[in-house]
Amino acid sequence: MTENFWQGKRVIVTGGAGFLGSFVTEKLAQRGVTDIFIPRIENYNLTERDDIKRMLDDALKGGFDPARLVIIHLAANVGGIGANREHPAEFFYDNLMMGVELMHQAWKRGVGKFTAIGTVCAYPKFTPVPFKEDDLWIGYPEETNAPYGLAKKMMLVQSEAYRQQYGFNSIFVLPVNLYGPRDNFNLQTSHVIPALIRKAIEAQERGDVELVVWGDGSPTREFLYVEDAAEGILTATEKYDSSDPVNLGSGYEISIKDLAEMIVRQTGFQGKLVWDTEKPNGQPRRGLDVSRARERFGWSAQVSFEEGMRRTIEWFKANRDKIK
């Protein structure tokens, strides 16, 4: 079934050169897909309609049948709490324009399948845990990342509307926070796991006695290993044809305090953790109900958190000299 789906297909992976995208393209290759088109930011600014049109022209060169074109839209302007607080307007505009215009132009061209990647930030601030897809609209997202979360969530509205009116085959999956090898370890823009790994290793090398962590450690988060996420996205693309949103998560919830302690243990940092309670905690709890993905297209996460963290720390240590 899987191989049949990809046979004769050309696949556009926006954001294909990024963290998640690099694993999606690898897994496509493992499935025998040889015709992969990755639009690079230096060639196409996907917030501009003309660039999107030109990108689709280039992807459909040679009279390629658009019905055999698959678009996996991973590209996003993203960052942690700090970046979201500093650039809310950019995060809103860039993500909204990219998603809405790309899906619109894909429909106009008759593209066969469109996989839109949402974000767990789209969930309301006080969603009952575990987050169920049906609760996406019961309130406003956590303020620090609402502009980003809502911009991405508009693709869900668009997917439902375009399927209803035009019969356009698009799907919307919501991965929880990702982590793994090749993550962004730049302390200005990184998320909590790569930031803490880098801080702990560098603090250990300097002989620091303390490691400062934002917030009070009480919020909980769920994390999904990047290869599991890539597998979930491709499995959904192959087997799922509905605009009902679907969570992709591990089903494992951990407090930031326990996470920080695990990183200290796995990196060998000898000092103590200090909590900077002046800094924001973000959403109080975050954990997903992951049953829909299992029921609708038979996917569930395979890599345990402890194992995924071990692989991530090893990758960072091996690749530090290449990281800014």
Looking at residue 18, its pLDDT comes to 95
Query: Is residue 80 a part of any domain in this protein?
Result: yes
Q: Beta-carbon neighbour count of residue 58 at 10 Å?
A: 13
Tens digit of each residue's pLDDT, the chain (324 residues):
456 999 999 999 999 999 999 999 999 999 999 999 999 999 999 999 999 999 999 999 999 999 999 999 999 987 777 777 899 999 999 999 999 999 999 999 999 999 999 999 999 998 999 999 999 999 999 998 899 999 999 999 999 999 999 999 999 999 999 999 999 999 887 889 999 999 999 999 999 999 999 899 999 999 999 999 999 999 999 999 999 999 999 999 999 999 999 999 999 999 999 999 998 887 788 899 999 999 999 999 999 999 999 999 999 999 999 887
Residue 193 and residue 225 in contact, taking contact as beta carbons nearer than 8 Å: no
Beta-bridge partners for 114: 71, 170
pLDDT of 189 reads 78
Q: What's the total number of domains in the chain? A: 1
3-state secondary structure of 56: helix
CATH number, domain with residue 75: 3.40.50.720
Q: How far apart are CA 104 and CA 289, in angstroms?
A: 30
Is the distance from CB of 276 to CB of 210 less than 8 angstroms?
Answer: no
Residue 24 resides in a domain:
yes
**CB-CB contact of 293 with 230 (8 Å):** no
> Of 123, 148, 225, 240, which is the active-site residue?
148
Q: Tell me if 152 is assigned to some domain.
A: yes
What's CA 29's distance to the chain center, in Å?
Answer: 20
Does 148 qualify as catalytic in the annotation? yes
- Determine, yes or no, domain membership for 105: yes
**Residue 187 resides in a domain:** no
Residue 96 lies in a domain: yes
Residue 324: predicted pLDDT: 72
Flag whether 144 is in a domain.
yes
Integer CA distances (angstroms), 244 to 75, 158, 164, 172, 247, in order: 21, 12, 12, 7, 10
Q: Where are the alpha helices (DSSP H) in the chain?
A: 2-6, 19-30, 49-59, 81-86, 88-109, 146-166, 192-206, 226-239, 256-267, 291-297, 305-319
188 domain-assigned: no
Q: Range of 130's domain?
A: 2-182+222-253+286-303
- The C-alpha atoms of residue 273 and residue 261 are separated, in whole angstroms, by 8
